[in-house]
Amino acid sequence: TAVSTLTLCRFNFAAKNCPCAFSTAAQQRSTGDECGPEDPRDEPRHPLSERTLELKASKLEEQVRDLTERYRKALADSENVRRRTQKFVEDAKLFGIQSFCKDLVEVADILEKTTESTERETEPSDPKPTLKKIYEGLSLIEAKLQSVFAKHGLQKMNPVGGKYDPYDHEIVCHVPAEGMQPGTVALVTQDGYKLHGRTIRHAHVGVAVESQE
């Protein structure tokens, strides 16, 4: 009919003059056809189960306990090292002169024997009291030397009448126990010395023993 012919002519005219409208519609249909369901990977993941969370929490607690125990042991080891180092430093201060003291007590022995010898040779009736003056001078020197020893922690042992101690005494002879308990130190042939309570030279002693009839 005339109306249909007119409508068809208008459609052909619009397609020739504005092809973008039909192209856009075609693209939209093509795009719509290609779009499928959403990618499963884009879906939100399911939260961890309660059991899994409990296991992880338990594992973390165990790690915390282990690290805490290691930390405590490290602190204890560090404190032990500090104490040992401090003790080493203190001992070095106290006993650093030990070797010097061992040599010095030899001088004290000589001085003591010289004083005793001079005392025996001194005669009260001697008109020239030279030996007496020498003896008095040696006695003063000996007393001063022992005072210096004591000032620095060096002390002479006096074991006579005491029990024999292998850590302090060295037996050089045995004597009959006359009025003394067996095992008691009866005499001293060489003085022993201690430096701040540590024996640096053993006393040479004679120990009392029961007499054999």
Over the chain, what is the mean pLDDT? 79
More confident residue, 38 or 159: 159
pLDDT in tens, 18-47: 444 444 444 444 444 444 445 555 555 555
Question: Which one, of 175, 200, 199, lies nearest residue 187 by Cα?
Answer: 175
pLDDT at site 213: 56
Q: Is 16 helix (H, G, I), strand (E, B) or coil?
A: helix
Give burial (CB, 10 Å; 0-12/13-18/19+) of 157: buried
pLDDT at site 149: 92
Contact 178, 213 (CB under 8 A): no
Contact 138, 114 (CB under 8 A): yes
